[in-house]
Amino acid sequence: MGISLHSLLQGYYMVSFFCVVSLLRASTADPGKLQDSPKIPLTEKEFWELCNKCNMMRPKRSHHCSRCGHCVRKMDHHCPWINNCVGEDNHWLFLQLCFYTQLLSGYTLILDFCHYYYFLPLKTTTWDLFVFRHELALLRISTFMGIVMFGGMCSLFYTQVVGILTDMTTIEKMSNCCDEISRARKPWQQTFSEVFGTRWKILWFIPFRRRRPLRVSYYFANHV
Ligand SMILES: [Zn+2]
Ligand SMILES: [Zn+2]
């Protein structure tokens, strides 16, 4: 019992740690801001367009974020929770953040359940087991927060995954602009590998690394 409870708690700290790291990295990372005078590769020239807000050339599928005041490559949306844009270069961190928050709130709910059903009845036999006077109140707050976060994060994560599978950013989905572009359906491994910048699936879950774009330029491949 002692060992299993310990590993349960260590697992909880691990998930919390991954959650905090992906939060910090997603909020501080460069989402894919466009440089002032970008070098446009000759072969891609026709896939660039002018932004009428900052008067700069940008690759197609970029979007101008009015809150950040610049264009972001393959922008998904501006996220007020991380106070940063979600774009090509930090989309993978945002996905990890959703994933680990989801995992953490689910984990919290399981621990709350255990606490309520297995540990609370022990109170009647040994009072010393419990430290806090307001334990039950804390438990209820924790359960409430857990349900709210778990529900919210599940739906957000689901929308994000569907977006990646259909290769559409949230902005494109909202504006219905891209129905006329017939995109070749790519296998899911390919679309996820492009977002995470690696084909190694285990690395998709690791926030401690640098993302390197895959060799294929996606907007080029998509719009042909
Ligand atoms: Zn712009
Ligand atoms: Zn922004």
Mean pLDDT of the chain: 86
16 Cα–ligand 1 center, Å: 36
Three-state secondary-structure class, residue 182: coil
Q: Which residues contact 48 (CB under 8 A, 6 or more apart)?
A: 40, 57, 58, 59, 60
pTM, rounded to two decimals: 0.86
pLDDT for the residue numbered 4: 82
Task: Provide the terminal-to-terminal Cα distance of the chain, rounded to the nearest Å.
Answer: 60
Q: Give catalytic status of residue 79 as yes or no.
A: yes
Quickly state the pLDDT bin for 94 (edges 50, 70, 90): very high
pLDDT at residue 224 greater than cutoff 50: no
Residue for token pair 């907007």: 219
Query: pLDDT > 90: what percent of the chain?
Result: 56
52 Cα–ligand 1 center, Å: 7
Contact (Cβ atoms closer than 8 angstroms) between residue 71 and residue 58:
yes
pLDDT at residue 139 greater than cutoff 50: yes
Q: Which of 19, 51, 65, 79 is catalytic?
A: 79
pLDDT at residue 42 greater than cutoff 60: yes
